Amino acid sequence: MKTTVFYGTLAAAGLAAGLASAATVDDVKANGVLKCGVTTGLVGFAAPDANGNWEGFDVAVCRAVAAAVLGDPQAVEFVPTTGKTRFTALASGEVDLLARNTTWTFSRDVDLKFTFVGVNYYDGQGFMVRKDLGVSSAKELDGATVCIQTGTTTELNLADYFRANNISYEPVPIETNAEAQQQYLAGACDVYTTDASGLAATRATFEDADAHTLLPEIISKEPLGPLVRHGDDQWADIARWTLNALITAEELGVTSTNLEEMAKGTNNPEVNRLLGTEGDLGAMIGLEADWAKNAIAAAGNYGEIFAANIGESTPIGLARGLNAQWTQGGLLYSPPFR
């Protein structure tokens, strides 16, 4: 009942906010800054560096949208949100866009009145344990204490998985990844469960990362992506096609290195349309002709962003896997720019 009331309240707030702010792009332009909701801190995805500058895979989405709309990837106000506060922040208008490793689900789309504009990371829920626990499978976790972030899909997935396998667990609720890390390392829980990418990112920050292992089970589909409020199709289009521009740029071989040269015109009409030297896609979406070029210039194409923040050469070390381009056996696919 508590969950239903919470969701119902959010749904009403989301609908009201959507109706009240039907031109988010105008608000962003008037403010001169994009208010982007991110996590409170998850290295590789969204976290401030030593100088307080936010960086990461989700941060790159925020900066790309700011560059597309305002021509300035630095024109972003990052708003840290927890699993509990993120939807209220978006529904209330505190943020214009939420880019916070959030799973696209039916209820969040339909009941909470949000629009997911795409998937920027195909993930799944996993488990991390200390190696000295002597466990090699999640099915050996009967009676374990499990750290789990409240207000997330992982709560429900965890309950379903343990019930289906007829094993018990004791939840240790936490609100942020930092709290989860602290509790897990302090021994308050035997297991930390969240998206597998989040576990890899968290383990990468440990002093002795090799003492911890990710169990082989992936127990859910977690399509993560940015989202906006219902009721503003133009804003949803801008966010959606900015993400698509980053994906398409990789597919077409447009990189941060060759961007300026290719923006002078190429023999590929789709590259020209993407970069604004042919056609009028910018005008159609209510932005300048070079909106996508600016978005790509912010931090590179999708592949460059992946490699720089969470790829195999980073401490997080994620392989492309399902997040490879469709031409490389992955699920990454953008509709055409025409």
Residue in 170, 173, 171 with CA at minimum distance from that of residue 150: 173
254-289 tens-digit pLDDT: 999 999 999 999 999 999 999 999 999 999 999 999
Question: Residue 13 — very low, low, confident or very high, per pLDDT cuts 50/70/90?
Answer: very low
With a pLDDT cut of 70, the percent of the chain lying above it is 93
As annotated, the residues of the chain forming the CATH 3.40.190.10 domain(s) are 24-120+225-328, 124-221
Q: Is CATH 3.40.190.10 the classification given to domain 124-221?
A: yes
Rounded CA-CA distance 26/116 in Å is: 20
**What is the rounded average pLDDT of the residues 79-98?**
96
Q: Is CATH 3.40.190.10 the classification given to domain 24-120+225-328?
A: yes
Per-chain mean pLDDT for the chain:
93
Question: Residue 5 — very low, low, confident or very high, per pLDDT cuts 50/70/90?
Answer: very low
124-147 tens-digit pLDDT: 999 999 999 999 999 999 999 999
Whether 7 shows a pLDDT value over 60: the answer reads: no
Taking the model in full, what pTM does it have?
Answer: 0.90
Whether 153 shows a pLDDT value over 90: the answer reads: no
pLDDT of residue 150: 84
pLDDT of residue 22: 59
**What is the rounded average pLDDT of the residues 53-81?**
98
Whether 301 shows a pLDDT value over 80: the answer reads: yes
With a pLDDT cut of 90, the percent of the chain lying above it is 89
Phi, psi (deg, nearest 5) at residue 267: -85, -5
Beta strands (DSSP E) in 69-143 are 76-81, 97-98, 114-116, 121-123, 125-130
Q: Which long-range contacts (CB under 8 A, 24 or more apart) does 26-33 make?
A: 27/96, 28/69, 28/70, 28/96, 29/69, 29/70, 32/70, 32/75, 33/66, 33/70, 33/75, 33/76, 33/77
The position carrying tokens 């466990």 is: 135
214-224 tens-digit pLDDT: 999 999 999 99
